[in-house]
Structure 1
Amino acid sequence: MDITAAIARGAHQDFAIETVQIDAPGPNEVRVRIAGVGLCHTDLVARDQFIPIPLPAVLGHEGAGVVEAVGADVTKVKPGDAVIIGFSSCGACPRCADHLPSYCREFPVLNYAGCRADGTSALHQDNARISSHFFGQSSFATYAIAAERNVVKVDPTGLRLEILGPLACGLQTGAGGVMRSMACSAGSSLAIFGGGPVGLAAVMGAVVQGCGTIILVEPVAARREMALELGATHVIDPATGDVGQAIRAILPDGVDFALETSGREQVVETALASLASHGLLGLVGVPPRPDSAVSINLAALITYGHRIIGIIEGDTDMDGFILELIDLYRAGRFPFDRLIATYPLDQINEAVAAQARGDCIKAVLLP
């Protein structure tokens, strides 16, 4: 069937809105009519070939919508069900068995290759192949094909289905980084570097965890203000001086936890230096280059027992954590809707520019 999609045709080029053809779902697949899809930094680094998905490609990996067709072997959902679409995982490796699908052995192949596991693509244009299945979905489109395993059925009662997609990546990454990966304890101190969707989701997660001191480091004033409204106890503008000194002025011994969301080497080093003894640094930011590296003082690392972990998707188990965040939202404890601005899908390039300027925190595209 014909669908409308935003196609990435070249690195650093605008997306093109075009008609493409989509396959019927395979035996373990579902076809979802997309109600809304988040615009994430990861989509842009894939377009620009930091993630080398073959172009042309349909990206988009924070989709939400309604199931319209299912394959013969699908039992998890049925046509008419509202779903959020998350990343893909194999379901058979040790990490999947540990309910840590974001560390799936097959994660790169299933999410970055631009095709199904068997090498076929679900998308075509005039018999020419278009890369699909980005993060198991490619939802910058009116419809997407996803595996049964990476859809999460939701009860849409009282919810705006079109804005739920970001829960599948950016928001669960930030909140899960604090609530699951680092498991910040009540009364602990946390510094969050970057006040985009991931960082502000981390602020909300820190409030849920009962952290005693929540510091956000962010250059955009509106985002610092939003952080305070969401529960941050302190905010720091990095343009005003040495960030490390500013954190130590608040907590002379340093922070128990730090979450770095930008991927910038200098910021990572500052975050590490802000830790108290036995402090834990979580890294979620995509670095600007494949060869990005940081300098670590090994003597200090060992002397003070500092710990560093990489975090993928907030250590989510998909169905469980996304539904937990929805329950928190319904209870008024995870007000992620305050971060979102919506744009029509055919204004995707305007949304990219607006997000880059800081005009909005999280853009969601409406097909």
Structure 2
Amino acid sequence: MAISYKDAGVDLESYEEAMARLPALMKRTQTPRVLPLVGGFAGLFGLNGDGKKYRDPVLVSGTDGVGTKIKVAMLAGRYDTIGIDLVGMCVNDCLCLGAEPLFFLDYVALGQDNPDLTTALVKGVSDGCVDAKAALIGGETAIMPDLYAPGDFDMAGFCVGVVERDKILDGKAIRAGDVLVGIESSGFHSNGYSLVRKAVFGAAGLKVTDHVPELNATVGEVLLTPTRIYAQVVQQLLNDERTAPGVTGLAHITGGGLADNTGRVIPAGLQAAIFRSRWTPPAMFSWLQGLGDIAREEMYQVFNMGIGMVVCTRPEHVSAVQAIVSDCGMKSHLVGEVRPGTEPAVYVD
């Protein structure tokens, strides 16, 4: 008996329907440096243009996924926000080198054709790219039955940015006495969700629709809060004459928490001292900790604890840094300082 691609689990008509919805989501992210290319196999981006002209440009790239936060989206049946997480996890990493985000590509793998699901996922990516001012210039949607169960999917993203060679933030300028300014996160971002799910759905037996009185939101709303994208505030800090000369390092706080991630940019012989008394983690962290009876040190090892990006700056620029953060609609805290030491970073109670 003759068989078709559809018999094998891939419906080309549904696939084409999904693909027809995506160009509009890409177009809204386009910047003047995106070069038009009809029917191409890749995307084109002009490095110079739109008022930009680099002297000695270095490309910066980063890739990441969303992790098991995807399982929460499946439980909630909401798919239009985790694309923001995808962009945030990639873009925020590139920012730490001092880069301007240029463009983004995504990869979505599904177990079966689903135009509505594909559109929702890419809409989130598009929203994130608009926030990051990075053009979504291409991507790939793969239908892989038998590898993914019906309804299952995964996502990955790829960001490319650029920085002048002499402005790369590699940590070499950091010195003792620099201040660590922590910019608040929007929540758990996209890290530690295996532990989150174990505590929330396993130990506590909650559902995504359950209301959490102390947070005034449902479980799903809390857990699906998108990752904050720091592109706007970082670009302002790096381009404003009040702050640019003082910024010596940036750290994106992901898995490993403040100590591990801040320690990655600290030069040998110096130490990031992080004072936990200087800010209060948002209530969602104590809520989660109580649900799973999670040890305090485990919380600080796995989660950002309310700080999503750390700016290392000279003391005389701290006020200007905090003013710009505030102007961008975010809050900051003086979470620590750089001092001589053998360990890259430590918590101080």
TM-score by length of 1: 0.23
**Structure of greater relative contact order (alpha carbons < 8 Å, 6+ residues apart):** 2
TM-score by length of 2: 0.24
Structure with max Cα Rg: 2
